Structure 1
Amino acid sequence: MSLDTPAARTIDRSGLRPDGPPREIVVARTVADVQTTVRHAAELGVPVVTRGAGSGLAGGAVAGDGVIVLDLSGLNRILAIDPVDGTARVEAGVVTADLDRAAGEQGLFYAPDPGSVGISTIGGNIATNAGGLRGAKYGVTRDAVLSVDVVLADGSLVHLGRPTIKGVTGYDFAGLVVGSEGTLGIVVGATVRLLPKPARVATASASFATLEDAASAVAAIAVSGARPAVLEILDGATLAAIDAAEGTRLREHGEALLIAQTDGFGAEEEISVVVEALSSTATGVEWTSDEAEADRLLAARRQALPAIERVGRPLIEDIAVPRSRLAEAIGRIREIAAARDVPIFVFGHAGDGNLHPIIVADADADGDIPEVAHHAADDIFALALELGGTVTAEHGVGRLKREWARRELGEAAVALHEQVKAVFDPRGILNPGSAF
């Protein structure tokens, strides 16, 4: 669907469908446009659903009957990059990859790198506290945000946080807004932290006969003293899908693949520590500090989702468990796939225990994801909580995971969320029904 059509501005990549047409669609070009729209909505008592690129996977930007859709993709200016302070001031609609590219011209980089980096916006990343491949070392979006410019539910504009790397004055309202999914205020701009581009990068790839062996290697890396920037895991089903799509033979080498990358002045020395940890259980390991060879080793991770999408329409899920329980989680997900008789492919960020179970089932005549896929997802969420994990590590709660988020949080924490929400948004017009 073209993004130029009104209907495209009411959905995201979650597969969730709106329950009716929106009241209005506003494509903001200035902060004043956002303020005017919110004041208008407040006067009418009409809900506002804010969106950027619509790349979210949890239904947070799905706009139903009678709401005002507020599209911020037009607020797309990089206002300043300061290489001395290591900061960038950006508007909410700046595409993440565009910021990273501009930072690169100054010898810097923007650490958060969600899978949707080429299309997702900084505002959307802030709304969901997005993560990505480099999360094992550099954390998630909240770790890169210094301050935010936020339009509140009455249309007023506030600046939360500070432009300095350190600062502890007052409550951390900027950190609170990050990950709030548009329910506390509308982020229209931010000052984010940039880091020096790594002088060197080294990459390793290792195959394993079993998932247990791969999980043992993850544990060995965790206690080795090395801190990879990237540590990714792909299961056998995902490897087979890549083989079918790309003509490779990854699955022949084992039931799991780990890809690790270190960076900085000691990248080669650090990768040697990683390789030693991998070698204790791997059936084969290779590593390189050559950029072209690194791209080859990383290709499997980049090809994973496109390869799975060739199998069928995916329901892309997102959980995290303690790293010590990775193998158990993936094994139990296989049991869920068998019990529900639905294919489930698993890959993810092993370095921080973040797994992406991809459930593939044929859509019905209306193009909706079938119930069996949603039942399998519920089983996976229950598993995550049973193993001491979380129902979402980087995609957000949105509308799809709201009930599961409430289970994870518990009654007392949900009540506290509701009290905070009432302070920021007393009339409840900002993205109601999302986040918790």
Structure 2
Amino acid sequence: MRHYVVALPVVFQRAVKKLIPAERYFDDPIATLAYGTDASFYRLLPKLVLRVESEAEVVALLQLANKYNVAITFRAAGTSLSGQAVTDSVLLVLGENWQQREVRGLGEQIRLQPGVIGAAANSVLSKFQRKIGPDPASINSCKIGGIVANNASGMCCGTAQNSFNTLAAMRLVLFDGTVLDTEDSDSVAAFRQSHASLLADLALLAGQTRQDEQLCTKIRHKYRLKNTTGFSLNALTEFTDPIDILTHLMVGSEGCLGFISAVTYNTVPEYPHRASGLLVFPSVASCCQAVAVLKPLPVSAVELLDRRSLRSVEHKAAMPAWIKQVSDNACALLIESTAATDQALQRQLTALRAVVAGFTLEQQVDFSTDPGVYNQLWAIRKGTFPAVGAVRQTGTTVIIEDITFPLLQLADGVARLQQLFAKYEYNEAIIFGHALEGNLHFVFTQGFDDPAEVARYDNFMQDVAHLVAVEFGGSLKAEHGTGRNMAPFVELEWGSDAYQLMWRIKKLLDPKHILNPDVVLSHNPQLHLQNLKPLPATDPLVDKCIECGFCEPVCPSRNLTLTPRQRIVTQREISRLRQTGNDAKRLKALTKSYQYAGNDTCAACGMCSTACPVGINTGDLTRKLRAQNNRRWQGLAAFIARHFGAASTMARFGLRAGQRLVKVLPGWHSAMPGANHTKVTPAESSLTPVIYLASCSSRVMAPQANSQDSRSLMQVCTDLLAKAGYQLIIAEDLANQCCGMPFQSKGQFAAAKLKQHQLEQWLLEVSNVGEIPIFSDSSPCSLTLSGKLDPRLNIIDSVDFLYDQVLPKLVLNKQSGPVALHIPCSASQLGQTRKLQQLLGACTDEMVIPEGISCCGFAGDKGFVLPELNAAALSGLAAQVSKCSRGGSTSRTCEIGLSRHSGIEYQHIVYLLDRCSMAATIKI
């Protein structure tokens, strides 16, 4: 039942427009569609999306919402799996200004704003060998606000280390805009006075609850399990101070009781020594029996994988061959043990091996401290969910459910669950999970475009709910939050008394029912079957997308226009509208808006593929769309490709003119490169020859006008490699060569293929059919050519050549002062992150790698023609490198934008290596 207004009052919208700048106020079709999608299988289109950047804005918006009865939903990363972050009213999305973090002491505590990504918090704590307790699988993309609001846990977290049990303090905003900071004694005192009635009511609820022994027994039982169904009723039984009760009720409240503005965690140890092993049991029963035995032993994670889970990844590269041979009833445990010292770890492993010896096993990978071994084992576990997503039928979605059985009944629970799979013919369903807590995830595919399929899903979920909540007394949501998915089943799990208690809490803290209505608690028994997200086919390049949002933190356009997930969402809706022929006006609006928001401002850098569970590169889709849109330019592209040397000469002319007219040319800035007209001084001919594949940017662009080192990149590479005994050979006709990337990025595939073919023939000739190695000085070019040319050609990227061939032959004198390192998206995808760090580490002891910048957004020429993309991608750069004197990278165009937006000069890392080794001698 709705208590809030359906249409947004005009007076509310006017007030909001005065509060929120136009660039953060979205009510257009493409933005509301893009933000109407989270990682769940639900979709609601918000009437208004607001990107909020301060607590003051949240306070004012809540006051307006309260005044005009407008429903508000909060959203952090949108990785929620149960529909917590979608709404048909007003959606408040965290902007980039919620990143503050403060480490206390030696990492024993950390205070975090809700926009901090979980992995970033752990990165700050890593030097103290500490971490936050929650460790959800989405930790590289989910944010603290969502982690706390859902009481998310994970593989190692259990119940002892979740947000509820590691919470030290909280800053929160109530429905009426009141702010409470429990670390501020003045704030607490003022709140006790201003909200004395609320605190008294909470204390009364807690007292009544503790007096109800039957209810208390149920609450204690539910929270011995992993449980996020409903509100955190254990706040009423574990605390007596109503301030503590309030803050712990906020944990797991999913935005239904208030806004979490900051949290302080008590952190937990992150032990440096680890070992993992895999045990395959002949049956689920024996596997679960082993779990009960392992429970009191020194294990940090015990992950259960049923036979179907193993089968889903058995064909993956690097998987053990024996996985295919295990029996149909087999069930595996992936076990990890960690310790502060190697000696302690070995003692733990001795104890574990003694216990394991008492079980009959089909297969076993003994406990290993070798990263190559345990990373392969964890690849099995982490690959199961995406493996199901990758093979699902187009148009269906992947559903991952999240339940808990009491540990002693785990085997029976798994068996009964498998019977339900068979009954409803979910033959692809797999089971895996955190066995120590009896917490299982089951994954299956489901279509919602057929009423019969919706009915099948409903009947299945009704049976699952009865099985877990009633027959086994378990939890229907262990760690994913209640959401819209389980809201209709909260009373079934908890019973009438506990359910009514939750409604009393809701009424106290949200009397107008405007905070994320229908999430956690709902009077609608069909809620889980409504607003189901369509997933129509749009393009084979992206049809396997499960809309999880893991790609978003690495996307350079995420703060400007759309993310990869949102691009796919929009393309799916465009495809649906075209297929159905419905709503031509909406189709036109989406198509028109997508040109800039989806196509033009996509860097097509491919970083999304590195974070995607199923490896989707949304840039491939962008290039394909550009190819369709840019057919009229094919002739021009072919002409430029055939006359590339002349085009390069014109580019030099333009750069030279720009430097002369710098004061009058709009968009020209001090970081713009000069024109490279320098002649490279060759090294001695007695040195080992290496063909120099200089990128077109290296050949055309000189350093910026006020550069610390005005030599061209080609000259510096020649000088440095000579010190290591190599002669870079600049072969005739280099000026006409190109890797094809400038054409490929614009969808001009024919021209790109032409240039790559020409380059291949030229390299075969000048390298004597691959006899002489080839040095590529630009990471983007190296990535573009990877796997494209004749395998006889030995093309070595500069990072690999410098690390493997040059660095061992140099003596380096480290420079003082911090130096910034930008790892280009191309270098990251080439797997060169570690080498780049070690190259810079050889030159300085103070390396700064800015957080949150996976791609600079310069994207070839977009830094020139769409500078706002580069500016948005690097918006947080300057503050992070303010103490640095210079920066290093491996892409000339990236360095232009990096220099402009950082205030320091970025140059290829060879400049720093050459500077530090100027007085060095070759090691004999």
Structure 2 CA distance for aligned equivalents of residues 109 and 131 of structure 1:
13
Task: Please say which of residues 357-366 and 77-86 is displaced more in the overlay.
Answer: 357-366
Task: Please say which of residues 21-30 and 51-60 is displaced more in the overlay.
Answer: 21-30
Residues 214 and 281 in structure 1, CA contact (< 8 A), matched pair in contact too: no
1:161 to partner: Cα distance: 6.9
Pick the structure with more helix per residue.
2
* Structure with max Cα Rg: 2
Structure 2 CA distance for aligned equivalents of residues 86 and 373 of structure 1:
45
1:86 aligned residue:
108
2:42 aligned residue:
16
Which amino acid letter does the alignment assign opposite residue 14 of structure 1?
Answer: S
Which amino acid letter does the alignment assign opposite residue 277 of structure 1?
Answer: V
Change in CA separation of 1:23 and 1:136 when aligned onto 2, cut-off 3 Å: closer
Structure 2 CA distance for aligned equivalents of residues 175 and 138 of structure 1:
14
SS of residue matched to 2:315:
helix
1:51 aligned residue:
75
SS of residue matched to 2:488:
helix
Please report the TM-score for the alignment, with normalisation by the length of structure 1. Answer: 0.91
Kindly report which structure 2 residues correspond to 1:180-191, keeping only aligned pairs within 5 A, or say none: 180-191=253-264
Which amino acid letter does the alignment assign opposite residue 323 of structure 1?
Answer: L
Which amino acid letter does the alignment assign opposite residue 226 of structure 1?
Answer: L
1:60 to partner: Cα distance: 1.1
Q: Output one character per residue of 1:311-343: Cα deviation in whole Å (capped at 9) or x when no partner.
A: 223111000001112221111111111111123
Structure 2 CA distance for aligned equivalents of residues 379 and 357 of structure 1:
14
Kindly report which structure 2 residues correspond to 1:242-281, keeping only aligned pairs within 5 A, or say none: 242-246=313-317, 248=319, 249=321, 250-254=323-327, 255-265=330-340, 266-279=344-357, 280-281=359-360
Q: Output one character per residue of 1:3-38: Cα deviation in whole Å (capped at 9) or x when no partner.
A: x943232232110122xx323211111111111111
1:109 to 126, 131, 138: 131
Aligned residues: 423
Q: More relative contact order in 1 or in 2 (CA 8 Å, sep 6+)?
A: 1
SS of residue matched to 2:379:
helix
SS of residue matched to 1:244:
coil
Structure 1 CA distance for aligned equivalents of residues 43 and 260 of structure 2:
25
Structure 1, unaligned runs of 5 or more:
none
Residues 49 and 68 in structure 1, CA contact (< 8 A), matched pair in contact too: yes
Structure 1 CA distance for aligned equivalents of residues 279 and 95 of structure 2:
40
SS of residue matched to 2:483:
coil
SS of residue matched to 1:262:
strand
Pick the structure with more strand per residue.
1
2:387 to 307, 314, 318: 307
RMSD in angstroms over aligned alpha carbons? 2.4
2:369 to 289, 294, 310: 289
Change in CA separation of 1:207 and 1:401 when aligned onto 2, cut-off 3 Å: same
1:74 to partner: Cα distance: 3.0
Which amino acid letter does the alignment assign opposite residue 256 of structure 2?
Answer: T
2:424 aligned residue:
340
Task: Please say which of residues 116-125 and 237-246 is displaced more in the overlay.
Answer: 237-246
Change in CA separation of 1:162 and 1:253 when aligned onto 2, cut-off 3 Å: farther
Structure 1 CA distance for aligned equivalents of residues 492 and 413 of structure 2:
19
Structure 2 CA distance for aligned equivalents of residues 234 and 51 of structure 1:
32
Structure 2, unaligned runs of 5 or more:
1-29, 186-237, 522-924
1:354 to 439, 442, 465: 439
1:169 to partner: Cα distance: 7.5
1:370 to partner: Cα distance: 4.1
Q: Is 1:7 paired with 2:38?
A: no
1:113 to partner: Cα distance: 0.8
SS of residue matched to 1:26:
strand
Q: Is 1:214 paired with 2:236?
A: no
Kindly report which structure 2 residues correspond to 1:365-404, keeping only aligned pairs within 5 A, or say none: 370-385=454-469, 386-404=471-489
Change in CA separation of 1:287 and 1:369 when aligned onto 2, cut-off 3 Å: farther
Q: Is 1:174 paired with 2:259?
A: no
1:182 to partner: Cα distance: 0.9
Task: Please say which of residues 336-345 and 247-256 is displaced more in the overlay.
Answer: 247-256
Residues 159 and 165 in structure 2, CA contact (< 8 A), matched pair in contact too: no
Structure 2 CA distance for aligned equivalents of residues 199 and 247 of structure 1:
25
1:155 aligned residue:
177
Residues 388 and 444 in structure 2, CA contact (< 8 A), matched pair in contact too: no
1:139 to partner: Cα distance: 3.1
2:299 aligned residue:
228
Structure 2 CA distance for aligned equivalents of residues 376 and 169 of structure 1:
41
Which amino acid letter does the alignment assign opposite residue 518 of structure 2?
Answer: G
Kindly report which structure 2 residues correspond to 1:24-43, keeping only aligned pairs within 5 A, or say none: 24-43=48-67
Give the % identical residues: 25
Change in CA separation of 1:122 and 1:242 when aligned onto 2, cut-off 3 Å: same
1:251 to partner: Cα distance: 4.3
2:756 aligned residue:
none
Structure 2 CA distance for aligned equivalents of residues 144 and 283 of structure 1:
39
Residues 137 and 227 in structure 1, CA contact (< 8 A), matched pair in contact too: no
Change in CA separation of 1:227 and 1:69 when aligned onto 2, cut-off 3 Å: same
Structure 2 CA distance for aligned equivalents of residues 13 and 243 of structure 1:
26
Change in CA separation of 1:75 and 1:410 when aligned onto 2, cut-off 3 Å: farther
1:420 to 505, 508, 517: 505
Structure 2 CA distance for aligned equivalents of residues 30 and 421 of structure 1:
25
Residues 276 and 368 in structure 2, CA contact (< 8 A), matched pair in contact too: yes
Change in CA separation of 1:6 and 1:267 when aligned onto 2, cut-off 3 Å: farther
Residues 232 and 259 in structure 1, CA contact (< 8 A), matched pair in contact too: yes
Structure 1 CA distance for aligned equivalents of residues 269 and 157 of structure 2:
16
Q: Is 1:142 paired with 2:159?
A: no
Structure 1 CA distance for aligned equivalents of residues 449 and 158 of structure 2:
38
1:227 to partner: Cα distance: 3.5
1:401 to partner: Cα distance: 0.3
Structure 1 CA distance for aligned equivalents of residues 507 and 120 of structure 2:
35
SS of residue matched to 2:336:
strand
2:410 aligned residue:
326
Structure 2 CA distance for aligned equivalents of residues 118 and 327 of structure 1:
32
Change in CA separation of 1:41 and 1:381 when aligned onto 2, cut-off 3 Å: same
SS of residue matched to 1:232:
strand
Residues 112 and 138 in structure 1, CA contact (< 8 A), matched pair in contact too: no
Residues 172 and 180 in structure 2, CA contact (< 8 A), matched pair in contact too: yes
Which amino acid letter does the alignment assign opposite residue 336 of structure 2?
Answer: Q
